[in-house]
Copies of this chain bind each other. A is one copy, B any other.
Amino acid sequence: MCPANKSAMEAAYDLLANRAKRDMKGAEVDSALKEVITIALEFLGSCEPVELVSKVRSKQYFAFRQVGTTKLTRPINKDLFDIELTLANLDRLASADVKSLHPDNRAAILYTASISYCCHTDLIRSGDQKTPGTFFEAFIAHMVARTFDMNPTRSIAALNLDLKADLPTDYIFALDDGKSRIHLPVKTSTRERAIQPWAHQRILDGIYGVGRFKGILVCLAETNMQTRTHSVLEVCLPDQWSLYQMFIAQLHRVYYMDPPEIYLPLAKKYPFIQVKHFAKFFDEADMLVNASPLA
């Protein structure tokens, strides 16, 4: 990787981070997102794919490496990754106009775009776990802010008798009266930190009343690769998630770019955790804010 290319990505990333902070739903974020994703995908297109050993029945994985090197990206779901399709639809994606995309293509375009910068970082920067998370947060928050036509906040005032504290939160969309407000935690993966969104939801329920905020957790994937064997697992804790949903608070949706196999059946039995592909968000966005909180 030549320094010029690296600088182009760094400049594009910085622009995205700054614009997202200033006006998350703004059109200027569209163009910054397109720039980052384009640089990342064109770079990955110049790399070579390496087959991985999938331990997940329904999925095949590969990783990229730069020609002549051995360092691998994180695992990529083969069925959901399509560079050309994503680049060809980047305008509509970046403006969150997902409903204009062919329904069969939405999941792949969302997945490819959201994992693009992460894979670029895996190969180009060492030990950087922060910027992939920040990119993914900006990508998701922009899509949701565009959809709700509202910028999110990242803290809320907790006023309660003599208590006056600012609670730092994940993204909060304080929609108009008569609609549900949205609490939007965003994480590339959850692992042992999964309990946090449930606990934050509990605090919001306690301060503002149960159902006033709907909790919508958005994640990229739960894949984990063993470096020695190149085998890929999905790290899932469905029993613990059920206990969180029963005893801490109720999340309304959990969207993934690549939904783990084991989490999908949680929607069908008590305590009913609705895990879906993030592509579905755009179909049900109206319902999420308009329907009764417990629907």
Contact = CB atoms under 8 A, between A and B. Distances in A.
Interface of A: 158, 160, 162-163, 165-168, 195-196, 198-200, 202-203, 205-207, 239-240, 242-244, 246-248, 270
B165 A206 contact: no
A206 B248 CA distance: 8
Name the prevailing secondary structure of the A interface residues. helix
Each complex incorporates copies of this chain amounting to 2
B166 A206 contact: no
A243 B200 CA distance: 10
A247 B203 contact: yes
A77 B166 CA distance: 31
Contacts of A203: 243-244, 247-248
B165 A243 contact: yes
A161 B240 CA distance: 16
A195 B67 CA distance: 44
A166 B239 contact: yes
Contacts of A247: 202-203, 205-207
Contacts of A160: 246
Contact of A199 (B166, B199, B206): B199
Contacts of A270: 162
